[in-house]
Amino acid sequence: MGLATRLRSWSSLLVAHPARAVVVAFALAVLLGAVLLSLPFATERGSSPGMVTALFTATSAVCVTGLAVVDTGTYWSGFGEGVILALIQVGGFGIMTLASLLAVLISGRLRLRMQLTAQAETKSLGIGDVRRVLLGVAGTTMVVELAVGAVLSLRFRYGYGEDIGSAVYLGYFHAVSAFNNAGFGLHADSLTRYAQDPWVTLPVAAAVILGGLGFPVLLELMRHRRRRRTTGHRTWSLHAKLTLITTVVLLIAGTLLTCLLEWTNPGTLGPHTTAGKILDGFFHSAMSRTAGFNTIDVGALHSSTLLMTCVLMFIGGGSAGTAGGIKVTTFAVLLAAILAEVRGEPTSTVLGRRLAPHALRQALTVALLGVGLVMGSTLVLLTLTDEPMDAVLFETVSAFATVGLSTGITADLPTAGQLLLVVLMFVGRLGPITLVSALALRERTRRYDLPEERPVIG
């Protein structure tokens, strides 16, 4: 078999399974980023970093996680930081979405194959919606990043005396990192030096929350805003309602619990004013939704706060956005199923709608696969390191949910442990179901039903 024939065979295989093409594309982006970061001029010292360091950083950037084994602002050169920023943008935007958007801009139309691939990445409802979704994604990304970057640049320039070039660079680097829920910063202490400055923390938190809602919800918000202007009516999809309600509830709950648990902790909220404690509590709650910035020392948090943060990180943000985790809709669907079972109802309902059975199966699959990956990885890491269990569990959840928060043990993990986190970040960014479907050789349809029987539960 010739090379051309093999390439055509591989191309057909990818087109038949768009999710597989997404996995391959992300893997190629990670490998390209690792190669670029391994170049000598990618570091400040002018020597090549270890391959594990380059691979870990590239994976963390493409998978918009933010975990790091070296300090971004001091270890990498301007070229290295530029590569990281580009990888963050590509990873957050979705490499298949980016390729599809280029096809739209160049040819003005999408081929069917490209539409199928873009649909797998954007989670759009129909092939006819792909072009609108892609253009909306591009516009939303540009507007939010430009607006937040401008606010941060002005604050760094006039609030902290940075020269114009440094202020703009700091502002837009953090804006891109925030909207893509990456959590990469240019300071060794992340954003701790700005803990009491709402002009820095609130724009960053707003960008993180918007990016974490997911592009379908953002586009629906904009579409219904225009519709309300013309008709005076506003109707929302169940997905948008679940995402918005669950996001607000988790943000409030995370803020209250962080403040309650850390109010007198001298290593975190203790030294701050009441307003400062509430601001830092809100910021920590927002960052736990898969963005790795921090304004308080995560390593100084109480074990109870670490556990609460693990729960928020595992749930994550909205679907088809820059956030990770099992997603808030998955959590809401599982909660609805539990409530229906407790009430003895035959079907699960939420907000006046009956949930489809396959939605419940998907939610359960995603949640259990996530739990299995986190627990298995935690067990392996505990055998590889002497770090305490709460720190190790926190690290694995942060990697799987592509959060980037850390108690400070990332750089101290052995090479095998860091490579395990690389796998967790990659799987967490793509999603367990996407990865499994991408690896499946073919789809199977059962043409018969087996006899029904109910095992004893509980």
Q: Among residues 265, 322, 318, which one has the least CA distance to residue 292?
A: 322
Cα distance between residue 156 and residue 7, in whole Å: 50
- 349 φ/ψ angles, rounded to the nearest 5 degrees: -125, 150
Percent of the chain with pLDDT over 90: 60
In this structure, of 7-16, 42-51, 348-357, the range with the lowest mean pLDDT score is 7-16
- 227 φ/ψ angles, rounded to the nearest 5 degrees: -65, -35
Q: Is the dihedral of CA 77, 79, 85, 90 positive or negative?
A: negative
Check: CB of residue 68 under 8 Å from CB of residue 155.
no
Q: What is the largest CA-CA distance in the chain?
A: 74
Cα distance between residue 184 and residue 406, in whole Å: 12
State mean pLDDT over 83-103. 76
* Confidence category of residue 431, pLDDT binned at 50, 70, 90: confident
pLDDT at position 7: 47
On the question of pLDDT at 437 being above 70, the answer is no
On the question of pLDDT at 119 being above 60, the answer is no
pLDDT at position 217: 85
In this structure, of 79-83, 115-119, 136-140, the range with the lowest mean pLDDT score is 115-119
* Confidence category of residue 137, pLDDT binned at 50, 70, 90: confident
* Confidence category of residue 441, pLDDT binned at 50, 70, 90: very low
Percent of the chain with pLDDT over 70: 82
pLDDT at position 289: 82
SS (H, E, C) the chain: CCHHHHHHHHHHHHHHCHHHHHHHHHHHHHHHHHHHHCCHHHECCCCCCCHHHHHHHHHHHHCCCCCCCCCHHHHECHHHHHHHHHHHHHHHHCHHHHHHHHHHHHHCCCCHHHHHHHHHHHCCCCHHHHHHHHHHHHHHHHHHHHHHHHHHHHHHHHHCCCCHHHHHHHHHHHHHHHHCCCCCCCCCCCCHHHCCCHHHHHHHHHHHHHHHHCHHHHHHHHHHHHHHHHHCCCCCCHHHHHHHHHHHHHHHHHHHHHHHHHCCCCCCCCCCCHHHHHHHHHHHHHHCCCCCCCCCCHHHCCHHHHHHHHHHHHHCCCCCCCCCCCCHHHHHHHHHHHHHHHHCCCCCEECCEECCHHHHHHHHHHHHHHHHHHHHHHHHHHHHCCCCHHHHHHHHHHHHCCCCCCCCCHHHCCHHHHHHHHHHHHHHHHCHHHHHHHHCCCCCCCCCCCCCCCCCCC
Q: Which residues of 103-131 are buried (b: 16+ CB within 10 A; e: fewer)?
A: bbeeeeebeeebbbbbbbbbebeeeebbb
Cα distance between residue 177 and residue 294, in whole Å: 13
pLDDT at position 67: 94
Q: Which residue has the higher pLDDT, 177 or 116?
A: 177
At 8, the amino acid letter reads: R
Average pLDDT for the chain: 85
In this predicted model, what pLDDT tens digit does every residue of 205-240 receive, in sequence order? 999 999 999 877 887 887 776 555 555 556 788 888
* Confidence category of residue 114, pLDDT binned at 50, 70, 90: low
pLDDT at position 415: 95
* Confidence category of residue 435, pLDDT binned at 50, 70, 90: low
Residue 354's DSSP bridge partners are 349
What is the signed CA dihedral for 221, 225, 226, 231, rounded to 10 degrees?
130
pLDDT at position 5: 60
pLDDT at position 307: 96
Cα distance between residue 113 and residue 428, in whole Å: 26
Cα distance between residue 223 and residue 225, in whole Å: 5
On the question of pLDDT at 70 being above 50, the answer is yes
Cα distance between residue 404 and residue 313, in whole Å: 10
Q: Is the dihedral of CA 423, 250, 296, 165 positive or negative?
A: positive
Residue 349's DSSP bridge partners are 354
On the question of pLDDT at 129 being above 70, the answer is no
pTM for this model (two decimals): 0.88
pLDDT at position 359: 82
State mean pLDDT over 114-121. 55
- 350 φ/ψ angles, rounded to the nearest 5 degrees: -155, 130
* Confidence category of residue 195, pLDDT binned at 50, 70, 90: very high
In this predicted model, what pLDDT tens digit does every residue of 22-37 receive, in sequence order? 788 889 999 999 999 9
Q: Among residues 334, 317, 293, 309, which one has the least CA distance to residue 431?
A: 317
Check: CB of residue 123 under 8 Å from CB of residue 320.
yes
